[in-house]
Amino acid sequence: MYDVIIIGAGPAGLSAGLYAGRDKLSTLIIEKAKDGGQIVITAEIENYPGSILEESGPTLINRMSAQATKFGVEKVIDTVVDMELEGKIKIIRCKKETYEAKTVIIAAGASPVLIGCPGEKELTGKGVSYCATCDAAFFEDFEVYVVGGGDSAVEEAIYLTKFARKVTLIHRRNELRAAKSIQEKAFRNPKVNFMWDTVVRELRGDGILESMVVENVKTGERLEIVADENDGTFGVFVFIGFKPASDIFQGKIDMQDGYIITDDNMNTNIKGVFAAGDIRVKSLRQVITAAADGAIAAVQAGRYIEDNDYSFTNLLVGGGLENDTM
């Protein structure tokens, strides 16, 4: 039995592992693929305090992972299929094994909804982005395009005007879905332009985004937008939705629009279960806030264990070991 099981090895999960390991808590991180989550596809990171020059997602995650391992954190590659979170002993069932712990930190993350067009995957981090706060500075004085029409898309388009010389919002309908107050700000901004009834069909480029094919959904007409020859590239920021990796937790924990609800100490509605990072309800999803969440969750997990009696006798009498063979 572990003191802490952490689900997910992104910045939140690795930060939680680091803090739990340093606190001498036996800790297991369960990750279904590879460490890092979304950040490993980021070519450059400039807004994480203390990051090295030419920092990238992989370099930052490699150091985070090594730190967690240094303090005795175990890691397994496995996929969670079910769990029992109520009670003093938490049971996490995966495809390969079943694991038990006194506390659980859910740091499974979230991911942006993709356009789904050719070239998107290959050019992500090379002109295609899903985070204006992360990447806006790389497009200072360039042209950028924002795909979407909701609150996030319009707000990010306005934000990008601080950096780009021109921002064009591409929306598949002839009117925005964003709140009227946000729309009005965008319409008043001279840098914001609109491409109505339009979808992105293809992104092209040899190692960097160089052109984009768009289609008018009413006429079927296609147009290739080519980067300014003096720039060589442009930016495409996609804001058509975000999906937390929370399907497996549905019905087991309180959520809001698929995101796990926590208090400021990362407590969920279930005692001994915490959530950290992009999977929880929060106002800013960045590496730095994920790392902070993970640290808080680990500290609170340690305090929860200290405040509860996990002696063998107490667990036996309370039924906490009922699933064990003796």
189-236: pLDDT as tens digits: 999 999 999 999 999 999 999 999 999 999 999 999 999 999 999 999
**pLDDT above 50 for 323:** no
Catalytic residue at 131?
yes
Q: 45 with 129, same domain?
A: no
pLDDT at 168: 98
Q: If we measure between CA atoms, which residue out of 207, 205, 203, 206 comes closest to residue 236?
A: 203
Domain count, the chain: 2
Inside any domain, residue 189: yes
CB 36 within 8 A of CB 57: yes
The verdict on 126 and 234 lying in the same domain is yes
Q: How much of the chain, in percent, has pLDDT values that exceed 70?
A: 94
Q: What pLDDT, in 10s, does the model give residues 48-82?
A: 888 887 788 889 999 999 999 999 999 999 999 99
Same domain, 171 and 31: no
Residue 252 backbone dihedrals phi, psi, to 5 degrees: -110, -15
Same-domain status, 124 and 233: yes
Residue 147 sits in a domain of what CATH number? Answer: 3.50.50.60
> Are 152 and 257 members of one domain?
no
Marked catalytic residue, from 78, 131, 278, 293: 131
Query: Are residues 19 and 57 both part of a single domain?
Result: yes
In this prediction, residue 73 carries a pLDDT of 97
Q: For residue 206, give the amino acid letter.
A: D
In a domain, 324, yes or no: no
- What's 267-283 look like in SS3? ECCCCCEEECHHHECCC
Residues 6 or more apart whose Cβ sits within 8 Å of residue 133: 47, 159, 284, 286
Domain end among 217, 238, 259: 238
Q: What's the whole-number average pLDDT of the chain?
A: 92
Last residue of a domain, one of 223, 238, 253: 238
The answer to the question of residue 200 being in a domain is: yes
Asked if 249 and 234 sit in the same domain, the reply is no
> If you average pLDDT over residues 149-163, what whole number do you get?
94
Same domain, 57 and 15: yes
323 part of a folded domain: no
What pLDDT is recorded for position 314? 66
Domain with 310 in it: 2-112+242-318
Put residue 86 in one of left, alpha, beta given phi > 0 → left and psi -120 to 50 → alpha: beta
Active site residue 94: no
Q: Tell me the HSE value of 122 on the side-chain side, using a 13 A CA sphere.
A: 12
Among 3, 1, 8, 73, smallest CA distance to 294 is for 8
In a domain? residue 99: yes
Amino acid at 130: Y
pLDDT digits (tens, 9 = 90+) for 295-308: 999 999 999 999 99
Gap between the Cα atoms of 141 and 186, Å rounded: 19
**pLDDT for position 43:** 66
Whole-number pLDDT of residue 278: 94
Q: What integer is the mean pLDDT of 148-172?
A: 95
- Within a domain: 325: no
233 with 246, same domain: the answer is: no
Question: Chain-centre distance of CA 262, in angstroms?
Answer: 16
pLDDT class of 318 with cuts at 50, 70, 90: low
48 found inside a domain: yes
The pLDDT-based confidence of 319 (bands split at 50, 70, 90) is low
Q: Which of 134, 151, 231, 309 is catalytic?
A: 134
- pLDDT tens, residue by residue, 225-266: 999 999 999 999 999 988 999 999 999 999 999 999 999 999
| 106/247 same-domain check | yes
Based on the domain organization, do 199 and 125 belong to the same domain? yes
Domain annotation covers residue 326: no
E-strand ranges in the chain read 2-7, 27-31, 74-77, 80-84, 90-94, 98-106, 110-112, 128-129, 143-147, 166-170, 192-195, 198-204, 211-216, 222-226, 235-238, 242-244, 255-256, 259-260, 273-275
Whether residues 142 and 227 fall in one domain? yes
Active-site residue identified among 135, 263, 278, 307 = 135
**End residue of a domain, out of 238, 267, 282:** 238
